[in-house]
Amino acid sequence: MTEHTLTVAGVAVDPRHWIGGERVASAGTFTDVSPIDGRALGEIARGTPAEAAAAVAAAKAAFPAWAATPRAERARILHAIADGVEKRLEELAIVETTDNGALLRSHRRGVMPRVAHNFRFFADWSLTLDHEDFETRGHTNHVSWDPAGPCVLITPWNAPLMLATWKIAPALAAGNTVVLKPAEWSPLTASLLADIAAEAGLPAGVLNVVQGYGSEIGDALTSHPDVRRISFTGSVPTARRIAASAAPHLTPLSLELGGKSPLLVFADADLDLAVDLAVEQYDNAGQVCLAATRILVEETVAEEFTRRFVAKAGALVQGDPREEATDIGPTIHPRQLDRIDGFVRRAVEAGARAVIGGHRVDERSYAPTLLTEVAQDSEIVQEEVFGPVLTLQTFADEDEAVRLADDTRFGLAATLVTGDRERADRVTGRLTAGTVWVNCFFVRDLKAPFGGSRHSGVGREGGTWSFDFYCDLKNTVTAPKGWNDHG
């Protein structure tokens, strides 16, 4: 432990940047505050363009040796990082809960195990990358995945470490080096990951972490001529700024953006299942990009669905996310709480009715809310709230259901509940979404492509799709003659 170290929930965390295998301070800092109780957790190094440039330089310097490291050795180190995550799983879980307010039980049982799995999956998948050679008029074509270079990864606050490693793991497995810029509202586990990676033997400069405000260091990272890939998860407005910054150098982008996903409930559905899936959308206090926040119910069962939904949602326990019994924790930040409340107030003023919720619980939390009597073109139906706020609309038939479902600028995900397999096939074929769940929700496999359509994003991640982004694909064509054979 050093003079710089913070103690967060009994865990030592270094608040400085991690650049070139060393801790680096900044002249300025920003205060990291826990959403659980508003307590200041400590002062975090506030990066400037100078630290951003130093991190890119470190990544550039480390790239040739890491790119030349055999895949199997890179995979071994990624598995060692996964071992380190599992060894410190409890520490990572409690620090992240303290930092972003998500449920401790979820971090212990699902999120942090998934962090380790991210490293193991992409380490192993990198060893399978192969394309069968093929012939063209007697010439041999050989496809290869070449590391692209330094990558800038910008990640959100709602699932900080899981979403960061969803990008870091394939980037490193591909042979690239990384500069990670975590969200300023939840930076702590990124710092712990830097320690874990170093202990696992990841060479200096291969992973760098720069903390701070995007408005102050974002452009220095995304406009840098030595950056070869940029991956961002967050809002559409920020994505536009990143794209403009990257454009002069034509730096390839992967963008996973917002959503306003529908949950379609047909009259032939198992209503208990439909209600369970709908109430699940309040997970992480509604701070989930994939959340199906627009519930669309066939009008003949809407009244019964609503009755069961209100009963189920009413049993949710809102409180301290460290308590096992808690179902919904606090909102990440007072600014986000104000944003959520503003959306609901404007919706009610425009004629919406709050069946449940519609108000703050206290200065840190918002009540699970269901709004009815909302117009399709209203703000509350069209714009992402990112809080525990759902809307309910009805439809008469499949055509209307699909029309309502697709009538936003987003296309991240959709959920469909029906007892008719043929209907499921018809409707899913007509929906615009990167992921469609039928009679389930949030079942994800890293082998599957993930991403959004329209304003929900650009590109796909997962399996080989991740390596297609983080690599330069090369096709080598070899003639059958011209060799000086002496054998």
For residue 331, CA distances in Å to 113, 182, 324, 335 come to 23, 18, 18, 9
CB neighbours of 318 closer than 8 A, spacing ≥ 6?
A: 326, 327, 328, 329, 361, 365, 367, 368
Give the 3-state secondary structure of residue 29: strand
Taking the C-alpha atoms of residue 387 and residue 338, their distance in angstroms, rounded to an integer, is 11
Which is the catalytic residue, given 96, 289, 384, 461?
289
Q: How far is CA 279 from the centre of its chain?
A: 21
Measured distance CA(14)–CA(45) in Å, rounded: 10
Q: Are strands 134-136 and 22-24 parallel, antiparallel or unpaired?
A: unpaired
What are the beta bridge partners of residue 474? 144
Pairing verdict, β 207-209 and 178-181: parallel
Place of tokens 């117009």: 375
CA atoms within 13 A on the CB side of 472: 13
In sequence order, what are the beta bridge partners of 294?
262, 391
- Annotated catalytic, 440? no
Rounded Cα–Cα distance for residues 450 and 446 (Å): 8
- Let me know if 324 is a catalytic residue: no
Q: Which residue has tokens 């309040």? A: 282
DSSP 92-117: HHHHHHHHH---HHHIIIIIHHHHHH
- For residues 135 and 140, give the distance between their C-alpha atoms in angstroms, rounded to a whole number: 5
Strand positions, DSSP E, 65-166: 134-136, 139-147, 151-154
Torsion, Cα of 96, 97, 101, 107 (10° steps): 100
Q: Are 416 and 298 in contact (CB under 8 A)?
A: no
Structure-block tokens of residue 202: 């990841």
Angle, CA of 254, 256 and 260, to the nearest 5°: 155
Task: Quickly list DSSP for 288-323.
Answer: -TT---EEEEEGGGHHHHHHHHHHHHHT--BS-TTS
Q: Any alpha helices (H) in 365-420, and if so which ranges? A: 379-382, 398-406
Residue among 256, 298, 384, 461 flagged as catalytic: 256
Active-site residues: which are they?
A: 256, 289
